[in-house]
Amino acid sequence: MKNLIEALQIFAKYTDTKYPTWCRHDELHVAVNYELVSDKDIDRLAELGFMTTDEDGEKEFYSFHYGNC
């Protein structure tokens, strides 16, 4: 739980979206503009289980650790 909270605190620095998360089968996605996130935070998010993917021409963050539909 602590890792998820830490990851969400990092994401909160980069968005004020009212509903920033959604799930797809076994994946938790976070609506944060990848281009705004510092390299240090990207590295820490990776340690916390968040990866990036290029969906529809936009990089986004997701994790298999915290989402399950």
Q: Residue 28 forms beta bridges with which residues?
A: 23, 63
Sign of the alpha-carbon torsion through 45, 62, 9, 39: positive
Judged against a pLDDT cut of 70, whether residue 69 lies above it is answered with: no
Pairing between β-strand 21-24 and β-strand 51-55 as defined by DSSP bridges: unpaired
Convert the pLDDT of each residue in 14-60 to its tens digit. 999 899 998 988 899 999 999 999 999 999 999 999 999 887 777 88
What is the Cα–Cα distance from 34 to 53, expressed in whole angstroms? 10
Judged against a pLDDT cut of 70, whether residue 3 lies above it is answered with: yes
Nearest to 30 by CA among 2, 52, 56: 52
Whole-prediction pTM value? 0.89
